[in-house]
Amino acid sequence: MAANQCQLNYKMSDKEIKVPNIGEFKDVEVIEVLVSNGQPVSINDPLITIESDKSSVEIPASFNGKVKSVKIKVGDRVSEGDLILTVEQSEEEEKNIEQKTIKEEEPAANKDQVEKVAKINQTQNLIKKDNSEASSASPKVRKFARELGVNINEIIGSERRGRIVEDDVKNFISSTINKASDKTEAQPKKIVSEFSHSDFGEIEVKDMPRVKKLASTYLANSWTTIPHVTNHDEADITEMEDFRTSLTDMYTGERKKITPLAFIVKALVASLKKFPSFNSSIDDIENGKITMKNYFHVGIAVDTPHGLMVPKIRNADNKSISYISNELKTVSDQCRNLKIDKKEFFGGSMTITSLGGIGGSFFTPIINYPEVAILGVGKAQKKQILINGKFETRTMLPLSLSYDHRIIDGAEAARFNNDLKENLGKNFAYKLAI
What are the residue numbers of the active site? 405
Q: What angle do CA 258, 264, 265 make, to 5 degrees?
A: 95
Tell me how far CA of residue 188 lies from CA of 217, 223, 347, 363, 424, in angstroms. Answer: 11, 12, 28, 24, 41
Computed from CA positions of residues 133, 137, 138, 142, in that sequence, does the dihedral angle turn out positive or negative?
negative
- Those residues whose C-beta lies under 8 Å from the C-beta of residue 348, and which sit 6 or more positions away, are 297, 298, 299, 310, 312, 368, 371
3-class DSSP state for residue 30?
Answer: strand
Annotate 361-419 with DSSP letters as a single string: S---PPP-TT-SEEEEE---EEEEEEETTEEEEEEEEEEEEEEETTT--HHHHHHHHHH
What DSSP string describes 239-252? HHHHHHHT-B-TTT
Note whether 375 and 399 are within 8 A (CB).
yes
- Please state, in angstroms and rounded to a whole number, the distance separating the CA atoms of residues 262 and 260: 5
Do the beta carbons of residue 150 and residue 172 sit within 8 Å?
yes
Q: CB neighbours (10 Å) of residue 405?
A: 14
| Distance from C-alpha of 107 to C-alpha of 293, rounded to nearest angstrom | 60
Beta bridge partners of 384: 393
DSSP one-letter string for 247-302: -B-TTT-PBP---HHHHHHHHHHHHHHH-GGGGEEEEETTTTEEEEP-S--EEE-E
